[in-house]
Every structure is written in C-alpha cells, then in structure tokens.
Amino acid sequence: MATKLVTSLLTNQIDNRLPLIRTQIRDEGKKKLHKLREKLPSVTDLKEQFSSSACSLQSQKKMEKRYNNTKKIIEKIINKAEKGKLKLDKLEEKLRKILEIIIPKIENILNFLKPIITALRILVRVIPLILKSIPTSVPGVTGGMIIEVNEKRKKAVAKIAEWANLIITINDFAIPSYRKKISKILSPINKALSLVNNFIESIKARLAVLDLLYLQYIQTCNIGDLSASNSGNINENLLNPDLSNIIEELQSLYGNLLNNVTDVKVIERIENTKFGFKTSYKVINYNLNQNS
C-alpha cells in the first residue's frame, strides 16, 4: 500500500506534470512575446498619427476615434501579456507545490516506514529462534502451523526488502533528481516572468505616450501651442519605454487642460475620455477640476 501510494505520487504529481510544464513555458516564452511586440504600435507610428494641426470639430472627432481604436489595440496587448504572466505564475506555483508539498509528503511516508522496517527486521530475525525453541510435543502446535508461520516470515522479509529498497531509491536518487529537474525548470520560468513583467511595463509606457500625444493634440486645438513644458513640443526624452519618465508630464498636461480650457463641451469630452491612466495604469491623479 505504501509503495503504491509513493509510486502514485511520483507518477501523477511529478512525472506526468514536468513535461507538460516545460511545454507550457515554451508556449508562454519569447515566441509569444515576439508576436505581441510585433502588434504594438511604435512610438514613431504614434507620433505620425497624432501630430496634427487639423483642429476642426470633424478633425477632433476623427482624432478621438483614432485614439480610442489605438488604445484598444494596446490594451488588448496588455491583457494578453498579463494572461501570459498569470499562466507563468500558475506554472511556478505548481512547481513550488511539488517542492514544498508533494516531495515533503513523500518524505513523511518514507520516514513513517523507517521505524516499521526496523521493528520488522528484528521480528523476522527472532521468529526462527522462537520456532526452534518450541518443543515438538507442545499440545496444539503442529508442524503445519510452524510451516505457516515460517512462510509469513518469508513474506515479511520480502516486504521489508521492498520498503527498504523504496526508501533508498527515492531518498538517495529520486528526490534529489526531481529537485534538480524542478530547479532547472524554475530558472527559465523566472527569466520568462522577468521578460513578461518588463514587456508589460513597456506596453503601459507606450500607452502613456499615446495619452501624452493625444492630450497635446487636444491642448493645441483648444488652448494654443503651449505644452506642459512650455516649449510647444513634447520632450523627446519622454517618448521612451520608461513609464516613470512620463508621469510628471502627464500630470501637468492633464491638469493644465482642465484648468485652461473654457469650452464646457471640450472639458466634458476630456473628462469622459477613458485615458490609459484611468483604465490600464494608475499613475496620476486625474480627478482634477477646472478650479483646482
């Protein structure tokens, strides 16, 4: 029973899972990230699409539609990347479960068997001595009974050997081998998670660039050619994958718009626009009003 339980744990919880986990890691690795990266609009593409001086109402509505469509594309990529991250997290969790729950469970079973094996070894050594010491003239004791006891002793010896061999094989070879295999699989998972996390941040940064470009377009059309940096142009250093560099500019630009735009309809349109910083990355206080 103990042998079957340990074998079942090894087969079902470890042997059958490791190849599947390896395959899933490859599926969620660089290849999938590369496909998502190809779908992501470049900064150059965004600049070309949203750098415009056409400010008629029709042009602004067209630009708003373009912004919403582009934002959906980028957010879809974010969602797919985050789903990939979730899958990798679950794979890591499965491996941790094997290391922290399944293997200790097997070790507990083996530790439970050790004292039993020791006691049985003593018993099977004593039984022949007991049998020899029994006089043949003892009432109720037959030769058949002695033979039966001796057969059971032989079965016990075989079971002891089986358990002892199980403990040696698993403790000395199987468990160290499984730990080594799992460690080798955890390493690429951690690397993949690092790549995915960095990629997600870079996508959010791209979305922030989109927000910034669209906000500047709205400002140019409704206030004049004044950027948050008072230069009339977006700082090129902001158009990079680092999300942190763009936060301050977004805060300032969004606040300036709400403080300086006088057209109520434009203010409503700005406030109702689902900018990326309202839906996909929480980096600025957008609950500003015209009098703040």
Tens digits of pLDDT across the chain (292 residues): 555 666 666 667 677 777 777 777 766 666 678 888 889 999 889 999 998 889 898 999 999 999 999 999 999 999 999 988 898 898 889 888 888 888 888 888 888 878 877 877 777 777 666 666 656 555 555 556 666 666 777 777 777 777 777 777 788 878 888 888 888 888 888 888 888 888 898 888 889 889 989 988 988 888 765 444 444 455 555 555 456 667 777 777 888 888 888 888 888 888 888 888 777 776 544 444 433 3
**pTM of the complete model:** 0.68
Say if CB 196 and CB 84 are below 8 A apart: yes
Signed CA dihedral, 17, 23, 28, 30: sign only: positive
Q: How far is residue 222 CA from its own chain's centroid?
A: 44
DSSP structure class, residue 142: -
Angle at 128 between CA 124 and CA 134, to 5 degrees: 135
Q: In angstroms, rounded to a whole number, what is the distance separating the alpha carbons of residues 163 and 11? A: 18
Q: Which of 202, 205, 232 is nearest to 216 (CA)?
A: 232
SS3 101: helix
